[in-house]
């Protein structure tokens, strides 16, 4: 088909629910999920050169240098699946420089979603978060406990999910957020992320559905 696939960026503070919403978006829209956090954690756990460089920054809750992230992100975006199915960028770009690099390559989203969650909620979400290393699924000890004891036994905690590190990640997020949003202000949609995840997804779902409809309408016009 001549339809252009969807291109989506999702942003928000640490633990605002980006990864959680991305699971739901991918299920419904089939976009290629590109999370620089997930990619970097995979590099760290397989002990690659990128991983070794990124590790200390991540473990202390600081951002990984732009040149590392931009190289990794743009390589992933250039793969065929992302071109065919469309993409969903999660936690990337994260600085003005990263956003500018994408602009220079003409890589621009249809929509820039910002999940808005009050600071005091974010700390609790991080401290209670657990990840399933087998399925990659995101859990929370109180909000989304695992389905079985077998899953529960294998859950892991992220090294940067302590209260102190979350506070520093949040500060860094705030320092960068304004600069990035200037790049995408005309396509920004702020969403209240302090609601049940299914309700949040309903809002995102209707935004993306409308975008797809607009794109289809454009492609059938003479
Ligand atoms: P990254 O992995 O991107 O971490 P983050 O942005 O801090 O975001 P999180 O993964 O913590 O949270 P999330 O918004 O995905 O929330 P989640 O859905 O898990 O980055 C990690 C590090 O990598 C960075 O600090 C940096 O060092 C490096 N890095 C990554 N990208 C980079 C870049 N572009 N440039 C430079 N460095 C980079 O949800 C959180 C918890 O809340 C879960 O337990 C979940 O179950 C629960 N929850 C979710 N939604 C709800 C809800 N609606 N109600 C109740 N609970 C909920």
What percent of the chain is predicted at pLDDT more than 90?
Answer: 91
User: Helices 66-77 and 96-104, interaxial angle, to 10°?
Assistant: 40
ipTM of this predicted complex?
0.96
4 falls in which pLDDT band (50, 70, 90)?
confident
Fold of 7-204: Rossmann fold (3.40.50)
Domain boundaries, given as residue ranges, for the chain: 7-204
Between the CA of 107 and the centroid of ligand 1 the distance, in Å, is 23
Task: For residues 51 and 182, give the distance between their C-alpha atoms in angstroms, rounded to a whole number.
Answer: 30
Mean pLDDT for the stretch of residues 45-74? 96
Between the CA of 146 and the centroid of ligand 1 the distance, in Å, is 18
Per-residue pLDDT at 221 exceeds 90: no
Between the CA of 30 and the centroid of ligand 1 the distance, in Å, is 21
Residue 9: closest CA among 217, 168, 166, 183: 183
Q: Which atom of ligand 1 is nearest to the CA of 161?
A: 11
The count of other CB atoms within 10 Å of the CB of residue 124 is: 16
Q: Could you tell me if the CB of 76 is within 6 A of ligand 1?
A: no
Asked about 94 being catalytic, the answer comes back as: yes
* Residue of 128 and 215 predicted with greater confidence: 128
Report CA 139 to chain centroid distance, whole Å. Answer: 16
Per-residue pLDDT at 44 exceeds 90: yes
Contacts of 169 (CB under 8 A, 6+ apart): 14, 61, 160
Instruction: Say how many residues make up the chain.
Output: 222
> In the prediction, which pLDDT does 1 show?
47
User: Helices 163-184 and 119-128, interaxial angle, to 10°?
Assistant: 120
Mean pLDDT for the stretch of residues 51-59? 95
Task: For residues 222 and 218, give the distance between their C-alpha atoms in angstroms, rounded to a whole number.
Answer: 9
Per-residue pLDDT at 2 exceeds 60: no
Per-residue pLDDT at 86 exceeds 60: yes
111-116 β-sheet, strand order: 32-35, 87-90, 7-12, 111-116, 188-192
181 falls in which pLDDT band (50, 70, 90)?
confident
222 falls in which pLDDT band (50, 70, 90)?
low
């Amino acid at each position: 088909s001549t339809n252009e696939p969807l291109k989506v960026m999702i942003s928000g503070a640490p633990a605002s629910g980006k990864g959680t919403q991305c699971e739901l978006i991918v299920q419904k829209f089939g976009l290629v999920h590109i999370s620089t956090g997930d990619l970097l954690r995979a590099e760290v756990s397989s002990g690659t050169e990128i991983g070794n460089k990124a590790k200390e920054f991540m473990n202390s809750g600081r951002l990984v240098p732009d040149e590392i992230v931009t190289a990794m992100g743009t390589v992933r975006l250039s793969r065929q699946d992302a071109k065919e199915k469309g993409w969903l960028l999660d936690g990337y770009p994260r600085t003005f420089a990263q956003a500018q690099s994408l602009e220079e390559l003409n890589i621009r989203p249809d929509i820039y979603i910002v999940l808005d969650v009050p600071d005091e909620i974010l700390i609790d979400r991080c401290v209670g978060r657990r990840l399933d290393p087998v399925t990659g699924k995101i859990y929370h000890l109180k909000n989304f406990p695992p389905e079985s004891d077998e899953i529960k036994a294998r859950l892991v905690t992220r090294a940067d999910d302590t209260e102190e590190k979350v506070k520093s990640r949040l500060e860094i997020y705030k320092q960068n957020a304004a600069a990035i949003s200037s790049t995408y202000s005309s396509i920004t949609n702020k969403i209240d992320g302090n609601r049940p995840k299914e309700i949040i997804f309903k809002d995102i779902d209707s935004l993306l559905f409308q975008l797809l409809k607009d794109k289809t309408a454009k492609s059938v016009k003479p």
